[in-house]
Amino acid sequence: MKKHNFSAGPCILPKEVMQKASEAVLELDGIGLSLIEISHRSKEFVAIMDKARSLALELLGLEGKGYQALFLHGGASLQFLMTAYNLLDKKAGYVNTGTWSQKAIKEARLLGDVVEVASSQEQNFNHIPKGYSVPSDLDYLHLTSNNTIFGTQIKEFPKTNVPLVCDMSSDIFSRQLDFSKFDLIYAGAQKNMGPAGATLVVVKEDILGKVSRKIPSMLDYSIHVKQESMFNTPPVFAVYVSMLTLQWLKDLGGIAAIEEINERKANLIYSEIDLNPVFSGYAAKEDRSLMNATFNITDDALKDTFDTMCKEAGISGINGHRSVGGYRASMYNALPMESVGVLVDIMSELEKKG
Ligand SMILES: *Cc1c(COP(=O)(O)O)cnc(C)c1O
C-alpha cells in the first residue's frame, strides 16, 4: 500500500510523473534507449532541457521579461555560495528566518560584508520578522520565502529598490506571487518539483556581470546562461522528472489552481491544530506555512498512542526536525487532500481517547 507521504524532502511527487519517469528509465519515448544512457547533447535531451526551462518561466509568469531559467547541480546549498559569488560586491543584507538562512549567511560572509537586516532567532524562528527597514546601499537582500524546518512563510515581501534574491526551495510553484519582483530565485528540486540532484535558478539577466571578482566557470551564472544550462553534463534524470512535474502542474491549471488546493489542505490541518486541545501549533498564526505545518502534542503521555495510530494508518514522515521537535506535516503540491484528511481524522480520534 502506498503510504501517506508527509516527508519534508525529498518528498512526494505526482503518481503520473513517477509512472512516466520509470518508463523513461527503461526507454525514452520509443527511441530504443533509456533516458539515462543518451547524450545530453542528443536532440531528445536538448528538447527536454528546453521544455523544462521554458515551463519554469511560463508557470512563474516570467516569459519574455529578461529572465533565464537554469537547472544546475549542487543543491540549494551551493546557491548560498553562488549567489554571493555572482552578486556580492561590497555588502549584502540577509533576513535570518531559520537554519537555511543561517547557512546562506555563513557562505556569503566568505565573500564580503553581510548585514543581518532582521532575525527571528531569539524566538527560535517561530515567526517572520516584520517592519524592519532595508538599507539602500546593499548589493542585494536575501530572503528565504518558506522555512521548511520551522513552518513559517513570508506572506508579504519587503518593499525595497535593492535587488531581491530568494531561496524558494520549499514553496516554489505552490502559491501565486509577483515573481518579477525578484531578481534571482533558487530552489532545490526535491521539495516541490522533482528528485534531488537539480536546482532551479531563475535569474534576471541584467543583474549579472556587476561584481569585480573572477568567478570560477562552474559558479558563473553568465556561463550557464550562455551555454543554455549545458555547460557540463546536467543532472539529466532530475531535469526530466522536474519537466514532467512542471507539465503536470501546467495541465492542472498552473500555480493559481494548485494554490487553491494547497490552501484547502493547510486550512484543514491548521483548524484541527487550533481546535484540538491535544495539539498546539509551533509557528505564529499569521506566518504559518502552506507547505510545512509544525505542531506539538500537549500531553506527552499520548505521544506513543499517536505515533502508533499514524503508523497503522500508513502515515509517513511527520516527525519534526530535531531543532524544533514535535511534528511536521509537509504538504507539497503532489500530496493529495485525502492524506491530510487521514491525518486530521487520527488527530481528532486521539482527542477522544485523551
Ligand atoms: C532543503 C532546503 C535547502 C537545502 O537544499 P539542498 O538542495 O539539500 O542543498 C535550502 N533551503 C531551503 C529553504 C530548504 O528547504
pTM across the whole model:
0.98
Cβ-count burial of 319 within 10 angstroms (0-12 exposed, 13-18 middle, 19+ buried)? middle
The answer to whether 4-11+254-353 and 15-252 have equal CATH topology is no
**Which pLDDT score, from 0 to 100, does residue 354 have?**
73
Give the strand pairing for 152-153 and 146-147. antiparallel
Do 130 and 92 contact (CB within 8 A), yes or no?
no
Residue of the CA atom closest to atom 12 of ligand 1:
169
91 is catalytic: no
The answer to whether residue 191 is catalytic is: yes
Amino acid 102: pLDDT: 98
Q: Does the CB atom of residue 188 touch ligand 1 within 6 A?
A: yes
Q: Are 202 and 83 a contacting pair, CB within 8 Å?
A: no
In this structure, CATH architecture of domain 15-252:
3-Layer(aba) Sandwich (3.40)
DSSP letter for 322, please: T
Stretch 117-136: mean pLDDT, rounded?
97
Q: Ligand 1 centroid vs 6 CA: distance in angstroms?
A: 17
pLDDT band at 1 (very low <50, low <70, confident <90, very high): confident
Q: Which CATH class is domain 4-11+254-353?
A: alpha beta
Mean pLDDT across the chain, nearest whole number?
Answer: 97
Spatial separation of the C-alpha atoms in residues 157 and 3, rounded to whole Å: 36
Identify which has the larger pLDDT, 323 or 225.
225
Q: From the candidates 171, 183, 191, 248, give the one annotated as an active-site residue.
A: 191
Ligand 1 centroid, distance to 187 Cα (angstroms):
7
- What is residue 184's predicted lDDT score, i.e. its pLDDT? 98
Domain boundaries, the chain: 4-11+254-353, 15-252
At 16-36, the pLDDT tens digits run 999 999 999 999 999 999 999
Is residue 169 lining ligand 1, measured as CB closer than 6 Å? yes
- Alpha-carbon distance of 93 to 109, in angstroms, equals 11
pLDDT at 124: 96
Instruction: Summarize pLDDT for 87-121 with one digit per residue, the tens.
Output: 999 999 999 999 999 999 999 999 999 999 999 99
d(CA 56, CA 243): 8
Q: Which of 169, 324, 331, 332 to mutate to test ligand 1, by most ligand atoms within 8 A of the CB atom?
A: 169
Share of the chain above pLDDT 70, in %: 100
